[in-house]
Chains A and B, each alone.
Chain A
Amino acid sequence: MVKPETDSTSRLPLTPAVFHVLLALAGGERHGYAIMQEVAQSTDGQIKMGPGTLYGTVKRLLAAQLIAESDERPDPQLDDERRRYYRLTGAGEAVVRAEARRYADIVTIARGKKLIGKTAIVSLPGGCP
């Protein structure tokens, strides 16, 4: 479980599921189904989260205060009021930035060793781009 801590780097590395949920929420508030769709779309369908994985991850992220439940709806008229929306907290944003930087550093190392080209897209464990 991700524990609430102040230092964002101490939480790294994140599990693929946690990283992808945080990445999805970096684009704005989303409900569970929208998060799942965003993750599937951004990974070209390589990662398809089931309800159990998604809400297990959400539960841990809420406990770690990396995300929070949002009271406001983007458009209450158009949406099901039972849906629960989630948003990134400040700590969550810091963590997802730190994890993205960590991946970027890994890509730089791999390029230095000529394992990948400058334009190559790599698939890291868990399908992370």
Chain B
Amino acid sequence: MKPESRAHEFPLSQMIYGRLLLAYPRLHRMEYGAAMAQLFRDQCREAWNESRNWGLLKLWLQVLPDLASTSIMERLAALKERKTMTDKLASLFGFRVTPAGTFFRVFILVFLLVLITSVAITFILPESYASTARIKIESDAPTANSQPPAYDSYFIQTTFEVIRSQPVLEAVINKLNLDVEWGKKYLNGEKLQTSATVELLRQRLQLAPVKNSGLISITVYSDDKNEAAEIANAIAESYQNYRVQIRKEVTGDAIDALQEQYRDQEKRIREAQAEVEVLGQPSTGQATSYLDKTRELDNLVEFHKTLFSKIEDKKLEAALPGPAFQIIDRAEPGHAPVKPNKPVDIVLGAVAGIFLASGAGTASAFLSFFAGRRLRKNPAVA
């Protein structure tokens, strides 16, 4: 035996396998139980040396079906060899029939099988990480008397649909090259179609409002923790760009109207300046009209300046996402996988095992009780 192997005698695996050997008929166990346990120990060492815990897990996945099928075969074989009903029941359950004993043994067997299966499934399931970005959103529409906007479920739902929409997600896919990266993972290196990538992205995306706030959490699940964070941040940014674009379109119309007014104002200023020049000549002798026209010209120039600054403000407003949108928290790579939740899954497996084992144990105990009573009433059956 190698020294490395000697350090690992796998007491838990051996203990569990030793208990599972109870599934075989007693005579078979007496004859081959020790040899089977020794063979299993040898297999454990080989599996451990091959690939440590993963090797042990693979061994259990091979041994459990083997144990289940061969124990049933051995029990049926033992059943055929028995002559009396009592012996048949004894060989079926592995001991002389007593309801309490039946319950106890069937309970242990079923409980261990369910627990081991749930543990195996928990460790086989691929790990999934989650990363969450949080954004603050408010409607761009102005609110009356500057009050903070009330919770608007319609607006929140609309925002969710916009975030999940093709234009927003396509921008994320293009930025992170997801159709190529996921093609490598899921399509043997072939590039995924954009529609398929969008669908995959939607499946991994979870949106939720943060209670009592105007915040939305954007959560992304992935088997790669860095990828999950990158995608969540990219979605927040893509939605931000979308809002900017919408603002540009809305304010663009306002700017056009203001510019039209601005040009009109320029024309009126030029006309007024010409009139002032004519009225200002000494030969005209219209000093009062000249002063009035000069004041009118000053007013026109002042309004012209106001229009110019309004246009500049609108242009700046169009380029910014505005106070109605803000990325509050950027997503960070998760430290631990969120799925499977191993402790919870194992506890659930144990609870399910207790329920199933209780049911199977009770049914077996009743079966053995009624079979025993029938034997006592009618010994001819045996």
Contact = CB atoms under 8 A, between A and B. Distances in A.
A83 B36 contact: no
Interface stretch (B26-34, B165-173, B182-190): B26-34
Interface in A52-72: 52-56, 58-59
A51 B67 CA distance: 8
A1 B40 CA distance: 24
B63 interface: yes
B13 interface: no
Contacts of A59: 28, 31-32
B39 interface: yes
Given A50-B62, A50-B66, A51-B63, A56 B74 contact: yes
Interface string A21-65: 000000000001100100000000000111111111011000000
A58 B73 CA distance: 14
Contact-residue bracket for chain B:
20 to 34
Which of A33, A49, A59, A80 is packed against the most chain B CB atoms within 10 Å? A33
A82 interface: yes
Contact of B35 (A32, A49, A50, A53): A32
A35 B183 CA distance: 44
A84 interface: yes
B66 A53 contact: yes
Given A32-B35, A59-B32, A52 B42 contact: no
A95 B140 CA distance: 88
B70 A33 contact: no
A109 to B, nearest CB: 32
A33 B77 contact: no
B77 A55 contact: no
Interface string B150-172: 00000000000000000000000
B261 interface: no
A71 to B, nearest CB: 16
Contacts of A53: 66, 70
B70 A32 contact: no
Contacts of B63: 50-52
B27 to A, nearest CB: 10
Interface string B253-295: 0000000000000000000000000000000000000000000
B65 to A, nearest CB: 8
Contacts of B40: 51
Nearest to B66: A50
Given A1-B77, A56-B73, A84 B66 contact: no
14 contacts: A1-B77, A33-B43, A36-B39, A49-B66, A50-B62, A50-B67, A50-B70, A52-B66, A52-B69, A53-B66, A55-B32, A56-B73, A59-B28, A83-B35
Given A1-B77, A32-B39, A83-B35, 9 more contacts: A33-B39, A33-B42, A52-B63, A52-B66, A52-B67, A52-B70, A52-B71, A55-B32, A82-B38
A-B pairs, 7 with minimum CB distance? A50-B66, A52-B70, A51-B36, A55-B32, A33-B42, A51-B39, A52-B66
